[in-house]
Structure 1
Amino acid sequence: MIFSQVLVKWYAANKRILPWRETGNPYYIWVSEVILQQTRVAQGIDYYIRFINTFPTVYDLAHADIDRVLKVWQGLGYYTRARNMHATAKEIVDNHKGAFPRTYQELIKLKGIGDYTASAIAAFAFGEAVAAVDGNVYRIFARLFGIDTPIDTQKGKLELKVIANSMLDRENPGVYNQAIMDFGGTVCTPKRPNCFSCPVMEICSAFRNRKVDQYPVKSKTIKKTERYLTYIIPQKGSQTYIAKRVNDDIWKSLYEFPLIETDRQMEVDEIVETDNWAKLFEGKAVDVLYFSSPKKYLLSHQRIFARFVVVRMDEESQLLKEKFSAINLSEIHNYSTSRLIEGFLAAEPVEKYFKKSTKD
């Protein structure tokens, strides 16, 4: 049994119809691969179409304002991807006259394009015989060959990359790489794999030894850091206040309300006694109108517990004037915010605490 031939035959009968597979345009392929790095295929389709419609060429992306890029990206999370794409687009336009390099070795030199993405573009757009190795591929070959080396180690990744390139269909690298992605996404899945519909079941070491659920092996489980955030939503007439996050932390370059972070979850009577509350309002009178229940939000390595406080004030503090922008609450959808804030505003009718703007 030749694995690549069996896989390509399986793919011909079972492939998913996806918009980025109808093109050899390296820009479209790049956009799709970056979106799919941390996003399920079913969810990614609409975001891909929206992104391509908004920025149809690498020139459009390179010349766009970063706030516009982040707004279009909103909802996908992992915003570093969008910032890196914007920087890479500028590099391609400025240094390569808008043309993508045609080989893996040249593509990987671009900022923000790593091993997998460079391999995918080289194989799908330019037909280079290189294996695009991601989590799907690690999982498939770890199970197929019973590889006990942890995949979250450099040794494990190198071992599986060598195997992946040895199994590659060098005559049809683009089709083969698409096939193995679909196979990992629909058959050899992380949980509850469809082993009895697998075309290579009879040669799979993990299946023969009834150890499918034990592969791939990982050396450690990353403990999530817990963070406690309280967002202050100031209300002054129809207006509130937001600022862009500029520190190297989660949600960089996204907009948010004034934030107080504490080392534990606090009630409203505790929050108003903190130094950060005093700095924010500088002793000016405010009325607490609303205090939300805790909202739990999970990131890859962090567990966020967030609460939201709506406060009415008659006079803005100097800090709010200098560090924040006053906007009508109804206009917040024009700004890129985290999914945490977006979800809260969609679920909670905080607008009832604000006067209706004459613009509305």
Structure 2
Amino acid sequence: MKRIFSGVQPTGNLHLGNYLGAIRNWVRLQHEYESIFCVVDMHAITVWQDPAELTRTTREVTAAFLAAGIDPERCVIFHQSAVPGHAQLAWIMNCVVRMGWMNRMTQFKEKAGKHRENASVGLFAYPALMAADILLYKATHVPVGEDQKQHLELTRDAAQKFNTDFGRAVFPLTEPLILGAATRVMSLRDGTKKMSKSETSDFSRINLTDDADLIAQKIRKAKTDPEPLPREVDGLEGRPEAANLVGIYAALADTPREAVLAELGGQPFSAFKQALTDLAVSTLGPMNAEMNRLLANPDEIDAILKRGAERAQAIAGPVLDEVYDTVGFLRV
């Protein structure tokens, strides 16, 4: 049996990069793998979150999953905090993972920045929680991007150490699922920086909640350069903003960049931006409409999450029982 686990933090402003880099791939994978998709709200609170906003964005991420085409009947869709086993197994993983491994995690250094002494213990230890998320379901595969590979390696190390320490093959060594060339979507204001929900300017990204008019406005204002669109990929060298917009078009059209330039190369950016706008609106418009419908009906979202949590618990419970027996926890 092949099973995947993956998740998204509910920290607001899901954007085009989240869709093209992760969620769209999950829609395709659900037909090949037993799929568990999680709104990782416990990871979100490693930095402070406004409680009301966390509730809202948990529903918003769930709505994005559903609007993008993830089927709640075929897949398990739930929020992390609804299954206590994530926290329970995370503590055991904290006792398995070594400090030296944690100190090598580059994302903590990036997120904590110059304020490491003021960062939460949760932010430092969250790779152990991530390992628990994956191992709680004995996931065989995890779809990963470049920024997640190190954490999956830690998950594999934790599984191997647990199995070795207790002399039992409890956990699989989860494999990365690499889906060809990654779609790396960059900021609309700076083609050298990744599109991010944390960037100050809302015009740096296309949010999945943006309507057609706002999408058009953002693409029209996206930074470019004075040269026309090249006819070959080599012509994008040294032109990060042009390369980003061509990459977005290629990803939305599900076609190589070479084909995009063969068709549209030589045009001024005004014409290319109009073509990109038309494509983005036709692709994201139906998703935006469905997200808005779902968000107007929070009871529908909550019912899906409740059912998903029950299904997740049915898988996680026996795994946690096995772990507790292996560790030697007395259960009476």
TM-score between both structures, scaled by the size of structure 1: 0.23
| Higher helix proportion | 2
Return the index of the structure with the highest Cα Rg: 1
| Higher strand proportion | 1
